[in-house]
Structure 1
């Protein structure tokens, strides 16, 4: 009888340890870092489909996104609670990080910037920006240019401009849609390293 009690105690200890580890994992993945998979070709040649990235979810709690940052944001989803983030994490477990509502884009304009697109190039505050990472020329889509980026908004573009669905089509995004900044590529292994 004593051995059975000890066995049950040991089992409960293991179950409790596993639950604690699971909840710590949810907390870390919902508020600190997460692994995501690039699903689109809209960021080629910088990022290619099926590459896996680590995103920093913590930094933007203290600083704002900057021009040139590669961000991950949730399409049509705003201000998330820890419960919402936990549900995304659990969904990611089943989908191996393939959350279809995540988009990966580059920040081109921040609040106060005037964005213009003409002759296949992007201009920020009247200056043509150097974009050696761009694949193809940049043309306006549905938005009428020039536009001014409002407070708490970001103007984002994919690097593969001919195929990217981005702020040219859906307008600037809200800050609170941003999930984090892409900081490190973990797969494929021959491309392992910081993201620039």
Structure 2
């Protein structure tokens, strides 16, 4: 009898753990907010590898990304449907119990800064970025900015964005893969939650 009660107690404990993990995953990967981890050095010195960010996934349903926003987007696809979010939630639950940080959609996400919005003309000359023929004053940028494969200048089209990483010498961004579509954008990085000594708003 005692063994049976012990078994039931252990099963209940597992059920509560699973439900708790599910609720955590839903809260941090909802349609409103998500938590992502920086996995590259392309945004130094604004963001660093392994920092964890809260992403506002709701605001861009009502307004468009603007120049200077730090956004999270999918490199090779569009943001998900409700079904995609449900599958992502399941992945998050598995990640919680397996402690496998790579077993998630995070590996497909990129973090970059919006430099050109629809209607802007973007160019890069002599190590500097120009938008609508005006040189940007970029205190956040690390290193000089040089062109790559994507041909410039470029006029940013409707529902498109030109993005760059703040660490210009290493970042793979619109200089490589060109303009991105609004449909790729998951949200705006708004708050740093880890490490704890660097908690705060992202600018």
Q: TM-score, normalised by structure 1?
A: 0.85
Q: After the TM superposition, which of the residue ranges 165-174 and 25-34 deviates more from structure 2? A: 25-34
Q: Are 1:66 and 2:66 an aligned pair?
A: yes
Give the corresponding residue for 2:6. Answer: none
Q: Deviations over 1:71-99 (max 9, x none)?
A: 01111111421111222233234144762
Tell me which of 162, 180, 185 is aligned to 1:178.
185
Q: Deviations over 1:116-147 (max 9, x none)?
A: 00000000011001100001000011011100
Structure 2 vs 1, CA of residues 83 and 28 (structure 1 numbering), >3 Å: closer, same or farther?
A: farther
Give the corresponding residue for 2:153. Answer: 146
Unaligned runs of 5+ in 2: 1-10
Q: After the TM superposition, which of the residue ranges 129-138 and 28-37 deviates more from structure 2? A: 28-37
Report the CA distance between 1:23 and its aligned residue.
6.7
2: distance between equivalents of 1:88 and 1:130?
A: 38
Paired residues for 1:118-133 under 5 Å: 118-133=125-140
1: distance between equivalents of 2:101 and 2:24?
A: 19
2: distance between equivalents of 1:54 and 1:29?
A: 10
1: distance between equivalents of 2:83 and 2:192?
A: 27
8 Å CA contact retained: 1:52, 1:187: yes
Unaligned runs of 5+ in 1: 1-10
SS at match of 2:157: coil
SS at match of 2:107: coil
8 Å CA contact retained: 1:30, 1:86: no
2: distance between equivalents of 1:92 and 1:25?
A: 6
Give the corresponding residue for 2:8. Answer: none
Give the corresponding residue for 2:4. Answer: none
Give the corresponding residue for 1:155. Answer: 162
Structure 2 vs 1, CA of residues 192 and 24 (structure 1 numbering), >3 Å: closer, same or farther?
A: closer
Report the CA distance between 1:189 and its aligned residue.
1.2
Give the corresponding residue for 1:103. Answer: 110
8 Å CA contact retained: 2:25, 2:89: no
Tell me which of 157, 171, 175 is aligned to 1:168.
175
Q: Are 1:188 and 2:183 an aligned pair?
A: no
RMSD over equivalenced CA pairs, Å: 2.4
Report the CA distance between 1:30 and its aligned residue.
3.1
Q: TM-score, normalised by structure 2?
A: 0.83
